[in-house]
Chains A and B, each alone.
Chain A
C-alpha cells in the first residue's frame, strides 16, 4: 500500500514557465514533508521541506504548498530552467514511533525545454 503517491510519472514544461509537481499521501501521522531532486548517477539532493504546522514554505524559485485536509502537497518552480530537469521525489516522515524513516513516492521526471 503506497502511502505517498506521485501520480504523474513525467512532466514537460517550457523554460521560464512554472513547473507544478504534485504529491498525495494517505497516512495522517505524516507531519513533515520533503522534496528531493535526483539527477542520473547521483543521490537525491534535498530541495525544500515543510512542517505540517505550515501551509507554505518558500526558498528562492521553489515553493512548497501543503493542504492537510486534502492530504496533498505541491512543489512550484518559478521560473523553470533547463538545469531543473531531473526526477523529483516527494517524501514524508511520521510523528511518533516511526519518526526516523522517510517514505518516498515513485518520483516525477521533470523535463524543462529550452
Chain B
C-alpha cells in the first residue's frame, strides 16, 4: 500500500510569494495533519483536518491556511512568504486523528525562501 505522499519534494520561492503544498493520505485514513520542521527542531503542529473540517490549529499566523478534499487529500497554503517560513513541511495521516493511534508521515516538502 502507498504511504503518505507529498508534492512537490522541493520548492524555492521568494519573499512575498504564495505557495501551495499537497498531500495524499494513506488509503482509508480520513485525517490529515500538517507540521512544520525547522532545522534543529522537532516538527511543530500547524493544522489537523478530519472529514473536510478543521479540527485544530497550532500557533501559526493567518497566512497559513489549509483544506481537505472529499477524497481526503489536503493542501496547505502559505501567503506572503517570509524568510522564516523556510522549513520542511510534513503531512501526516491517521484513521481518525483523535485517538491513540500513530500518525504516519510523508517525506515532506522542503521549502526554501530567498
Which residues of A approach B to under 8 Å, CB–CB?
4, 31-32, 34, 36, 41-46, 49, 51, 89, 91, 93, 98-107
Contact = CB atoms under 8 A, between A and B. Distances in A.
Nearest to B108: A43
Given A41-B107, A43-B4, A100-B48, A105 B102 contact: no
Contact of B107 (A42, A101, A107): A42
Interface of B: 4, 6, 31, 33, 35, 40-45, 48, 50, 55-56, 58, 90, 92, 97-100, 102-108
A70 to B, nearest CB: 21
Nearest to B88: A43
Contact of A36 (B6, B45, B55, B105): B105
A44 B45 contact: no
